[in-house]
Amino acid sequence: MSTRVGVVVFPGTNCEHDVVSAFERAGAAASLVWHTEERLVGFDAVVLPGGFAHGDYLRPGAIARFSPVMGAVTRFASAGGPVLGICNGFQVLTEVGLLPGALVKNRGLRFLCTPTRLRISSARSVLTGGVEPGAELQIPVNHFSGSYVCDGRTLAQLRDTDSVVLRYVENPNGSIDDIAGISNAQGNVVGLMPHPERASDQLLGSTDGLLLLRAVVAAAAGVRAA
């Protein structure tokens, strides 16, 4: 049986179908989970996709953290299940406290939809397991609030625990330490601003995102086996 990925949909989420089809390309079975669900049953990994959950009103992720499904996502994460937040999903994960720091408006104060080059900084996460540190990937970003910030102690901690998983080669948004993605200390909860699902088909320019999604699928399969 293939790995089962749950893709959470809040009102205002818009990348859910893209994420489902990219995970299917990566060999998983993916299905949508409505935000009012209070339990996550039968999933090996959970993804919070990009978009504008609850319109991004107040600030991105600020309302989504109160959606009923987030309690279940938190329990899933505590039990060691792989949780991936892409773009808006990353913002939600910081708001709900599963990842430290915050995403603020881009340097330049404009929305940015553009290809970026990323460098794998750590292979110690469900997103980057098995990918050689130092490897470069071409994956686009698509955000207004993608500049990662945190205090000095948090940054030191992130570095000490090898939890900065992706860095921009050319920083597009002013993120501290060129951070594009981080994990929690255990490595099972990961957030990143770039959209790996948008780099999962040569027809659209790059398949580098599939490396990351396949790593998530492999990690999920590993958790299930264990």
Binding site for other proteins (CB under 8 A): 11-12, 14-15, 17-18, 21-22, 51-52, 54-57, 110-114, 140, 142, 144, 195, 197-198, 200-205
Tokens linked to 98: 């599963």
The residue among 189 and 193 lying less far from other proteins, judged by its C-beta, is: 193
Expressed in angstroms, the distance from the first to the final Cα of the chain is 15
**Residue 105 DSSP symbol:** P
Q: Smallest distance from the beta carbon of 47 to other proteins, in angstroms? A: 15
Q: Smallest distance from the beta carbon of 154 to other proteins, in angstroms? A: 29
Q: Phi-psi bin for 162: left (phi > 0), alpha (psi -120 to 50), beta? A: left
The residue among 57 and 66 lying less far from other proteins, judged by its C-beta, is: 57
Q: Smallest distance from the beta carbon of 115 to other proteins, in angstroms? A: 10
Q: What is the DSSP string of 140-191?
A: EEEESS-EEE--HHHHHHHHHTT-EEEEESS-SS--GGGEEEEE-TTSSEEE
Q: Which of 156, 126, 145, 135 is nearest to 218 (CA)?
A: 126
**Rg of the chain taking only CA atoms, in angstroms:** 16
- Three-class secondary structure of residue 1 per DSSP: coil
Q: Is 113 a catalytic residue?
A: no
The residue among 152 and 202 lying less far from other proteins, judged by its C-beta, is: 202
Q: Is 24 a catalytic residue?
A: no
Q: Smallest distance from the beta carbon of 4 to other proteins, in angstroms? A: 20
Catalytic residue among 35, 87, 95, 150: 87
Q: Is 54 a catalytic residue?
A: no
The residue among 128 and 145 lying less far from other proteins, judged by its C-beta, is: 145
The residues that are catalytic are: 87, 195, 197
